[in-house]
A = this chain, B = another copy of it.
């Protein structure tokens, strides 16, 4: 079955500083039509930085959209056309102060594929070197660290509401386990 929906027309709804909302009319697989309200987005990166002794560098940050302080790994939006790796290095350095000898892609994801064209590349950062943080003017956060095993426990006990942090913690551990068993 061809599941694809094809764009017939687009109505621009709102283009702000962050959100770009459009309403498209599409043709459906059965020949009918429907409207799709979606958010366009240039993409983003997130980084799980792990120290040589197995601790994850985390941030505590107020997220206005959800009305709460969340524990998250570092992350940031791509500028239009920006290379995800360059963005990941920059966000890691600005938000946590760390630079990394190794930046390993551990996958990518769509966080809300029914609504949002935000495509996020996930990096595992290793070989960390401490430097200075540099926040955006309207960005306030606390940086702290936690052993990866404790973070996994918090993920399983539902103490980490942020999807990328849950996902990268579980993925990073699986990646490290597979790497270890390949070396044997």
Give the B-binding residues of A (Cβ under 8 A): 1, 3-5, 13-14, 16-19, 21, 23-24, 26, 28-30, 32, 34-39, 60-67, 69-70, 72, 75, 77, 107-120, 137-138, 140-142, 152, 155-156, 158, 161-164, 166-167, 170-171, 174-175, 178
| A16–B17 touching, CB < 8 Å | no
Cα distance A23–B16 when bound, in Å? 9
**How distant is A6 from chain B, measured CB to nearest CB, in Å?**
9
**How distant is A170 from chain B, measured CB to nearest CB, in Å?**
4
Cα distance A167–B109 when bound, in Å? 10
Number of copies of this kind of chain in the complex: 2
Given contacts A3-B61, A19-B37, A155-B107, whether A66 and B113 have CB atoms under 8 Å apart is yes
| B113–A115 touching, CB < 8 Å | no
**How distant is A49 from chain B, measured CB to nearest CB, in Å?**
19
**How distant is A1 from chain B, measured CB to nearest CB, in Å?**
6
**How distant is A91 from chain B, measured CB to nearest CB, in Å?**
12
**How distant is A135 from chain B, measured CB to nearest CB, in Å?**
11
| A140–B3 touching, CB < 8 Å | yes
| A161–B19 touching, CB < 8 Å | no
| A36–B64 touching, CB < 8 Å | yes
Could you jot down 14 A-B contacts, CB within 8 Å? A3-B62, A18-B37, A28-B140, A29-B140, A32-B138, A39-B39, A66-B117, A70-B110, A107-B155, A109-B161, A110-B162, A115-B118, A120-B163, A155-B171
| B4–A62 touching, CB < 8 Å | yes
Other than the given A39-B39, A63-B114, 12 more pairs (CB < 8 A) read A1-B140, A4-B69, A29-B140, A36-B64, A39-B65, A70-B110, A70-B113, A110-B163, A113-B161, A115-B118, A163-B164, A170-B174
